[in-house]
Chains A and B, each alone.
Chain A
């Protein structure tokens, strides 16, 4: 799950969570120029792939460096 309000995700038990930068733009960041926003999006999806390939015991955050 890619979401901004990670507290909720943790509380309802989502096992793999990648924190994002804003509610209206989970895989975006309008504050960035277009090329950088696409790069940020790619990093989020890559991190999602890391998360689904990682064993977890319970709700776990997979934050990106330089993340939100």
Chain B
């Protein structure tokens, strides 16, 4: 009999709506809300022994929360963790994905359920994501798909795209029989022979980004400078990495009309930083922004700038930084950001 723990957000757990989005993780014995129907669909051989929930905002806040939630599932002796369905809800989807990823990493098989366009589909790590409809109106069908995926995973089989899997399938390093150069020659001769489909690397698909509505009037707005050019105060006091960023930093621009060469440097490892170090404005255009602020073309230049390094930085990390920067900027009252990219 497989012991299942079900993860839900604050809304589906019956805690509250948007007003409760900041609530921390909680748990109850047995199924809650849609978990009851899910339990019935799973049938004999499965039991939802506990439900864990968390507010969407709290879950989106940091890495530690997913671990906390998985610890609660482990306490209930979970043998399988099911998260969602999150449908099209972005924060819920990200939370489900991260919880499923953390569960897998902790040795508990997991499945997350959400719509294929949900930004969370790429964040589930080694855990599979099963595709469901975009809105909660389709809850019955969604629970059906989640139950089906759960049965596949519990049987030790891998959920495939044919079985409803959405999002990327993990790619793992292996040693091939022949060196890459020899395989390239094989692939080239195959292509010359008419095979135009064969490739070791599939073409990627990217997120669809919904553009923000335009600013009505920049003259009244706070505009913030942000960059992945790794421009930091000389000495790199917070040790920003030169490649494969794991974090981002913020530094004050208050009272600065311009950036003095020598007081700033770029620690980016992906290009020659000679020009940037000669004149930091080539990475962060503080001088031009201040001029425009003085002239009233923008309301206020942000009192800080945000910085990371875009050199071999994982896409999932960059995506997370983007979400965190957006949150940070929104809270500080910024209406627009200018991102300089190298």
Contact = CB atoms under 8 A, between A and B. Distances in A.
Do A and B come into direct contact in the complex, CB within 8 Å?
A: yes
B275 A28 contact: yes
A3 B338 CA distance: 11
Contacts of B274: 24
Contacts of A28: 275, 279, 281-283
B130 interface: no
Contacts of B272: 24
B291 A42 contact: yes
Given A46-B297, A49-B298, A59-B209, 6 more contacts: A2-B340, A26-B282, A28-B275, A45-B289, A52-B338, A53-B218
A21 B260 CA distance: 22
B214 A55 contact: yes
A27 B283 contact: yes
Contact of B341 (A26, A41, A45, A49): A26
B212 A15 contact: yes
A24 B340 CA distance: 11
Contacts, number: 109
Contact of B207 (A12, A27, A45, A55): A12
A25 B214 contact: no
Given A12-B206, A45-B285, A56-B211, A2 B338 contact: yes
Interface residues of B, number: 41
Given A2-B341, A41-B281, A45-B289, A52 B209 contact: no
A24 B275 contact: yes
The 10 closest A-B pairs by CB, nearest first: A28-B282, A15-B211, A3-B341, A13-B209, A25-B282, A27-B285, A26-B340, A52-B336, A42-B288, A45-B288
Contacts of B213: 55
A14 interface: yes
Most buried by A among B213, B214, B288: B288
Nearest to A26: B340
A27 B217 CA distance: 23
Nearest to A55: B214
A44 B214 contact: no
B209 A24 contact: no
Interface in A11-50: 11-16, 20, 23-28, 30, 37-38, 41-42, 44-46, 48-49
A22 to B, nearest CB: 8
A57 B208 CA distance: 11
